[in-house]
């Protein structure tokens, strides 16, 4: 019965835009499949947009390294790469999925999907492919200090640090949640959903929110993100092992994308405004 609960909450979204839960699900799915495998050779497309590190330099470093692990940092997927005989991290391969990027673990006989920009051939015979139709995704090699991302992690930040993030901020709390140098990985959907669950208007000034409200918000964020990660885990095979066309899972939304529909708590029509350039959804009755 435990499995059905998450299945029922999952639907496929046709206009994907990966946020923290999707990135974490893909990172975990890839990690389970290819951790310990080694990169034999590398192929890159001729497009220049996806490459923050020149492809030739990236290929030269990647070939021959072993995959220590794949994990999520903010909205980035990071691969720690080691020499075959050592555990010391030699380099990190950093993947940002952008709007439509995917990582696929494929058998070599599966034709490369259109819009494939990278294919890493592995010692096991499989290929790790980066597919991205809209080319907002980015690939980068890091040989310096371990990558930590621009902001703090919403799932692990302490209550005190969370409150401190917003102190003195004049911008709206919704805009603050989207600011990746404050919290990393929170996008439009989970910002709206967590503010609804914390009963906070998205337009409230971040720096004026009482500590109790921010505590509620921190917990609401963690709850919605973890629910989405659980939902994704049950359907991860649909996109890590698929042909790159599947949409992303999503949990049932309370406000996001529900303009004019009745609030699930009080029945008041959900309102949509534009805030910080993004469609913002809230219940004018429940959120004050
Ligand atoms: Zn309501």
At residue 3, does pLDDT exceed 60? no
Q: How far is the CA of 184 from the centre of ligand 1 (A)?
A: 28
pLDDT at 21 over 60: yes
* Catalytic residue chosen out of the listed positions 18, 55, 154, 202: 18
Lowest mean pLDDT among 37-41, 226-230, 274-278: 226-230
pLDDT band, residue 283 (cuts 50/70/90): very high
Distance 132 CA to ligand 1 centre (A): 38
pLDDT for res 136: 92
Tell me the DSSP string of 200-246.
Answer: --TTSBGGGS-HHHHHHHHHHHHHHHHHHHHHHHTTTHHHHSS-S-P
Give the Å distance between the CA of 271 and the centre of ligand 1: 10
pLDDT tens across 199-220, in order? 999 999 999 999 999 999 999 9
- From the CA of 283, how far away is ligand 1's center (Å)? 5
Residue 32 designated active-site: no
Q: What percent of the chain has pLDDT over 90?
A: 78
The pLDDT, as a whole number, for residue 2 is 37
Sheet holding 116-122, edge to edge: 39-44, 116-122, 127-131, 102-106
- Burial of 28 by CB count in 10 Å (0-12 exposed, 13-18 middle, 19+ buried)? buried
Q: Does residue 84 have an active-site annotation?
A: no
**Token match 């991860």: residue?**
236
| Inter-residue contact 122 to 107 (CB < 8 Å) | no
Greater pLDDT, 233 or 116:
116
182: pLDDT strictly greater than 50: yes
C-alpha to C-alpha distance for 74 and 184, rounded to whole angstroms: 5
pLDDT at residue 67 tops 80? yes
Which strand (E) or helix (H) includes residue 20? helix 20-34
d(CA 165, CA 215): 12
Is 193 assigned a catalytic role?
no
Ligand 1 center to 222 CA (angstroms)? 21
Confidence of residue 249 (pLDDT cuts 50, 70, 90): low
Catalytic one of 75, 126, 152, 174: 75
Distance 119 CA to ligand 1 centre (A): 47
- Cα 265 to averaged position of ligand 1 atoms, centre (Å): 5
Which tokens hold the place of 13? Answer: 């979204």
Residues with Cβ–ion distance below 5 A, ligand 1: 263, 265-266, 268, 283, 285-286
What per-residue confidence (pLDDT) applies to 11?
Answer: 46
pLDDT at residue 53 greater than cutoff 80: yes
pLDDT at site 251: 72
Average pLDDT of the residues in 220-239: 83
Mean pLDDT of the chain: 90
**pLDDT value, residue 30:** 94
The active-site residue, picked from 16, 19, 21, 126, is 19
| Closest to 255 measured CA to CA, from 216, 281, 284 | 281
For 122-151, give one letter per residue: b (16+ CB within 10 A) or e: beeebbbbbbbbebebbbbbbeeeeeebeb
Whether 75 is catalytic: yes
The residue among 27 and 249 whose pLDDT is bigger is: 27
pLDDT (mean) for 83-98: 93
Mean pLDDT on 161-179: 97
As a whole number, mean pLDDT of residues 126-150 equals 94
pLDDT at 256 over 90: yes
**DSSP E strands: which ranges in the chain?**
11-13, 39-44, 66-73, 76-82, 89-96, 102-106, 116-122, 127-131, 138-142, 248-250, 271-275, 278-282
**Phi then psi for 272, rounded to 5 degrees?**
-125, 130
**Is the pLDDT confidence value at 4 over 80?**
no
pLDDT reported for residue 243 = 59
């Amino acid at each position: 019965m435990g499995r059905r609960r998450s299945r029922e909450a999952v639907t496929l979204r046709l206009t994907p835009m990966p946020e923290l839960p999707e990135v974490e699900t893909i990172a975990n799915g890839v990690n389970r499949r290819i951790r310990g495998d080694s990169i034999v050779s590398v192929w890159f497309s001729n497009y220049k947009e996806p490459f923050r590190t020149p492809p030739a330099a990236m290929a030269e470093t990647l070939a021959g390294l072993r995959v220590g692990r794949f994990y999520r940092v903010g909205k980035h997927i990071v691969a720690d790469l080691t020499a075959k005989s050592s555990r010391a991290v030699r380099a990190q391969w950093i993947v940002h999925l952008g709007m439509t990027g995917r990582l696929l673990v494929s058998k070599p006989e599966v034709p490369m999907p259109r819009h494939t920009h990278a294919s890493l051939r592995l010692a096991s015979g499989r290929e790790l492919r980066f597919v991205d139709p809209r080319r907002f995704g980015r690939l980068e090699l890091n040989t310096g200090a371990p990558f930590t991302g621009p902001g703090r992690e919403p799932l692990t930040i302490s209550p005190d640090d969370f409150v401190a993030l917003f102190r003195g901020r004049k911008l709206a709390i919704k805009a603050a949640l989207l600011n990746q140098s404050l919290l990393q990985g929170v996008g439009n959907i989970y910002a709206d959903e967590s503010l609804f669950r914390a009963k906070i208007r998205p337009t409230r000034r971040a720096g004026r929110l009482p500590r109790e409200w921010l505590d509620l918000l921190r917990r609401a964020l963690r709850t919605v993100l973890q629910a989405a990660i659980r939902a994704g885990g049950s359907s991860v095979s649909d996109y890590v092992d698929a042909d790159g066309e599947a949409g992303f899972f999503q949990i049932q939304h309370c406000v996001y994308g529900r303009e004019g529909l009745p609030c699930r708590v009080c029945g008041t029509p959900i309102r949509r405004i534009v805030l910080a350039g993004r469609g913002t959804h809230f219940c004018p009755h429940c959120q004050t």
